[in-house]
Amino acid sequence: MLRSTSPAQPASDPADPVAEPSRRFDGRLALLALVACLLLTVLAWRETARTAEDDAESRFALRVTELHQRLENHIQTYVQVARSAAALYTAFPDVQRAEWNRFVDGLGLSERYPGIQGVAFARRVDPSNAAAVAGSARADGIRHFRIWPDAGGPERVINLYAAPVTEQNLRALGYDMLSEPIRRTAIEQARDSGEPSTTRAIQLKIDEGNSPSPAFIVFQAVYREGQQPRSVEERRAAFVGVVLTPIRIVPMANAVFGPGVTDVAATLYEGLLADADFPLYRSRAPSPEKPELAAEREITFGNRVWTVRYESRPGFALETESWKPPLVLAVGLTLSAFLSTLLWALTATRRRALEIAGRITASLRRREAELDQLFNEAPLGIALIGQDAKLLDCNPAFARAVGAPRDGLIGLDAKLRAQDPALATAIDAAIGGESVRLEVDQLLLAGGRHSHFTVHLQPVTTPDDPPFVMAFVEDIGDKRRAEQHIHYLAHYDALTGLPNRVLLFDRIGQAAKQARRDGTKVAVLFIDLDRFKVINDSLGHSFGDEVLRSVARRLHAGLRDSDTVGRLGGDEFLIVAPQLHQASDAAAVAEKVLLQLSSPFAVGGQSFVVSPSIGISLFPDDAEDAEGLIRCADIAMYNAKDGGRNAYRFVTREMGARSRERLDLEAALRRALQNGELFIVYQPQVRISDDQVVGVEALVRWRHPEAGLIMPNRFLPIAEETGLVQSIGDWVLNEVCQQIRRWKDHIGLSIPVAVNISGQQFRDGQLPAKVAAALDGNGLDGRELEIEVTEGTLIDDIPAAVSTLRALKERGCLIALDDFGTGYSSLSYLHRFPIDKLKIDRSFIHDLEQAGVGDSIPRAIVGLGRSLGLSVVAEGVETEVQLQLLRSLKCESFQGYLFSRPVPAEELEPVLAVRAARGGHPARVPLSAAP
């Protein structure tokens, strides 16, 4: 429901700078989130990297421990072989070579102990016993057995048994182990300790001559049967020999670090790493790259220390979780970007939502305020009527229309106050949910002013408020009046209030219909006021208007109620007289009109007579429709005018023919200019005192190809009606100026030539320019041209006329006032016009000889001209009597058949030539020569 609201807050502009900080805040928040996420990512990445590193190290240590343990076990197993063999010999001191061989073969050395070249027994031999030992060996099948080297110490330890029986092992038989210091040291350690003893890395005797391969020999002392010596002395005393196992390091180590171990490389050094010059063994070729992980372990067996260096291989890293840190970093970065973008999008979306909500709210407020403003300022009366028909609210326009204060209206029962029962019914219908529109001639509530109103009742239902009815009240009184006025203007003449052409047509149509039904006649009377143009032109339009109103009143007063008087325009009136029985009834109406208008009119303090020319046509005799009837009456009217005015005529067939002829003339005139059918004749003006030619008047003529010569009085009115008079006038002006030029050139003409200027030509504002152009175009002075205008032309718009005449005068032209005395011009205006000459109309000259009329007007005009310093020319002088009278009146000059008819230029030229040459009397031009 409409109600007052506070002014609307302006909506926040999307480009409002206030919104900018919040947009920046969104960006900063997202950036903060991004930085935090990146920090977390870096932390997680570093933690994962550290864990992965720890994990790799643990795994490496474990792996190293495992491999090292395996190596230790492996070596112990190898050492154990020497122990087992020693145990065999201890258990069976008489063991034979063959049994030794079988025992060793049973160990399966090549499969189970790769690197052990054999298991041998070297026996302690006194030098004295050496030959027997050798002989026994040879007897045992070793045919080439010999003890070597030859030089030996007091005690020898001779290699007696060596299995498996291979060529290499056989070659080592007979070798005195003590002959070589490294072996001897190891043997002595084994003897003294009772524990396995090993040599340092050496090259085996059996390998001598072959490619070097590092090896070592494990010795296990064997003591005399059944003895368990406890001290070194006892051991030395009980010592019978040693079991030795030569072991090649590479195969042995390969069994542990062979191709199956790909993740870790192992390098064996003898002794401590710091002391080692070169490695005994490498499981992998050395790599130029630094290993990621490395560890060193020592291994002790016999009396030896070896160091093993373990290094992680590139493959090791793959097995660790080293992929985790980059993954964590990648995921972290992605999540950071995603989360910060998401946060930015969410905050931006939220901000935008808030902005939109703000805008919508502002827009709603604005709309509410606009509605409120509309309600209060609307020119349309708006009221809200509740379900109980009481007025809930109304706007000032409604209160104005009702004519009561707004506060006093609210709460009133609209139905009770409605004056029109239809309005009360409409309110009921609207309360019932119906949309109602009605027009009333009073207002909704009592107390209002009377006018035409439209009331539109529109039921309204809203979700929030109870239903109500909106009443829109519009005062259409003005509109109605305007419509009536438009209707009036469309059908009535604004000046006289009489029916116009449209309504007249309608009335004629209705009358004709009626006449057809009852067999009666309808008369149409076309009335034209004689000489009204003169009245209008000379006394002014407002005067003319008043005359027309007076005529209208008289026409209306004199007719029956059933008759219709209308105005067609200008001074043309029409009377429609229905239900006539014969033509004489129409004649009676015409007579009545003549009578009505016969008494003088008094307008503006002046009294004068207006005579009508009336044309009559009858339905159904002359035409069947309004247009035809009016046309016929018009023709008849022209006939009445031609017949002497102040008369009426019934239309006849002959009249129709003449009318058609006039139409033909109009069409022919349009072509006349192009076809060169117009031409000009010139009539001289003569000074009365000495018969001197003092001027020439140019007069237009039309030679029709069929009709022959047509005079201007016949075709100029048609030219004026059709507007052709403008182009005819232009043509005449130029033609005359050209002729003046020719006369000047031929005969030295020095008198002015007068040109008639029509009213239309004078008023169109172009005349001074056209005259100037024609003069300039022919190299003429202004004074060589005289402009002839009628009184009526000037009186129409005096200030404009004065200005045009002044412009012509400035160019040097002479001005003559034509037909002077025929109009009703106020002589008081005359002095305002810059004119040079007055021309007395020929009707006054004609009247000079008429009995009873006299010379009063020519005399007055001559007197007026003299007092104003103007020359006076009398027109239409045909007789010597007229000339004498004019002379006696001291009229200056004359123009007329008496001296010369208007003649072609070439005919006039000799007359003018004489005048120019002699300055004396020209010869009179014969009357017969004039057209």
Residues that bind ligand C2E (CB under 6 A): 683, 699-700, 711-713, 716, 729, 732, 756-758, 818-819, 842, 875-878, 895-897, 902
Nearer to ligand C2E, 456 or 701 (CB): 701
Nearer to ligand C2E, 328 or 700 (CB): 700
Nearer to ligand C2E, 196 or 768 (CB): 768
Residue 898 C-beta: closest distance to ligand C2E, Å: 6
Structure tokens belonging to residue 73: 């076990």
Residue 511 C-beta: closest distance to ligand C2E, Å: 41
Backbone angles phi, psi at 833, to 5 degrees: -85, 135
Residue 918 C-beta: closest distance to ligand C2E, Å: 25
Closest CA to 309 of 268, 275, 258: 268
Residue 206 carries which DSSP code? G
Nearer to ligand C2E, 270 or 818 (CB): 818
Task: Determine the length of the chain.
Answer: 931
One-letter amino acid at 717 equals P
Residue 889 C-beta: closest distance to ligand C2E, Å: 17
Nearer to ligand C2E, 156 or 641 (CB): 641
> 925 vs 68, 753, 896, 898, CA distance in Å?
166, 18, 11, 9
The helix/strand/coil state of 910 is: helix
Nearer to ligand C2E, 472 or 897 (CB): 897
> 122 vs 162, 169, 509, 799, CA distance in Å?
9, 13, 168, 168
Backbone angles phi, psi at 210, to 5 degrees: -100, 180
Residue 610 C-beta: closest distance to ligand C2E, Å: 24
Residues 6+ apart with CB under 8 A from 502: 490, 491
What is the Cα–Cα distance from 501 to 505, expressed in whole angstroms? 6
Are residues 79 and 301 in contact, defined by beta-carbon separation less than 8 angstroms?
A: yes
As beta bridge partners, residue 640 has none
Nearer to ligand C2E, 622 or 907 (CB): 907
Residue 701 C-beta: closest distance to ligand C2E, Å: 7
> 310 vs 39, 92, 316, CA distance in Å?
38, 43, 12
Residue 899 C-beta: closest distance to ligand C2E, Å: 9
Nearer to ligand C2E, 390 or 704 (CB): 704
Q: How many C-alpha atoms does 726 have within 13 Å on its Cβ side?
A: 10
- Compute the chain's Rg from CA coordinates: 76
Nearer to ligand C2E, 432 or 765 (CB): 765
Nearer to ligand C2E, 245 or 758 (CB): 758
Torsion 49-55-57-60 (CA) sign: negative
Residue 838 C-beta: closest distance to ligand C2E, Å: 12
Regarding beta strands 837-840 and 871-875, do their DSSP bridges make them parallel or antiparallel, or are they unpaired?
parallel
Measure the CA dihedral 386/390/394/396, to 10°: 170
Nearer to ligand C2E, 499 or 902 (CB): 902
Q: How many C-alpha atoms does 689 have within 13 Å on its Cβ side?
A: 5
Nearer to ligand C2E, 267 or 758 (CB): 758
What is the Cα–Cα distance from 681 to 900, expressed in whole angstroms? 11
> 797 vs 539, 594, 759, CA distance in Å?
11, 32, 11
What is the Cα–Cα distance from 564 to 576, expressed in whole angstroms? 5
Residue 735 C-beta: closest distance to ligand C2E, Å: 9
User: String of b and e for 20-41 (b: at least 16 CB within 10 Å)?
Assistant: eeeeeebeebbeebbeebbeeb
Nearer to ligand C2E, 122 or 719 (CB): 719
Helix (H) or strand (E) holding 295: strand 294-301
Residue 485 C-beta: closest distance to ligand C2E, Å: 41
Residue 819 C-beta: closest distance to ligand C2E, Å: 6
What is the Cα–Cα distance from 224 to 240, expressed in whole angstroms? 6
Nearer to ligand C2E, 782 or 896 (CB): 896
Residue 790 C-beta: closest distance to ligand C2E, Å: 7
472 by Cβ neighbours in 10 Å (0-12 / 13-18 / 19+) ranks as middle
Nearer to ligand C2E, 457 or 700 (CB): 700
Backbone angles phi, psi at 779, to 5 degrees: 65, 45
Are residues 871 and 899 in contact, defined by beta-carbon separation less than 8 angstroms?
A: no
Nearer to ligand C2E, 105 or 764 (CB): 764
Residue 763 C-beta: closest distance to ligand C2E, Å: 13
Structure tokens belonging to residue 551: 């005529």
409 by Cβ neighbours in 10 Å (0-12 / 13-18 / 19+) ranks as buried
Nearer to ligand C2E, 789 or 830 (CB): 789
What is the Cα–Cα distance from 638 to 615, expressed in whole angstroms? 7
The helix/strand/coil state of 430 is: helix
Residue 793 C-beta: closest distance to ligand C2E, Å: 10
**Cα 815–819–824 angle (5° rounding)?**
105
Residue 413 carries which DSSP code? B
Nearer to ligand C2E, 307 or 683 (CB): 683
> 507 vs 502, 517, 593, 623, 877, CA distance in Å?
9, 15, 20, 15, 52
> 534 vs 555, 621, 796, 875, CA distance in Å?
21, 35, 10, 19
Residue 859 C-beta: closest distance to ligand C2E, Å: 20
Backbone angles phi, psi at 155, to 5 degrees: -135, 140
As beta bridge partners, residue 440 has 453
Residue 861 C-beta: closest distance to ligand C2E, Å: 14
Closest CA to 722 of 768, 679, 667, 643: 667
Residue 713 C-beta: closest distance to ligand C2E, Å: 5
Residue 718 C-beta: closest distance to ligand C2E, Å: 13
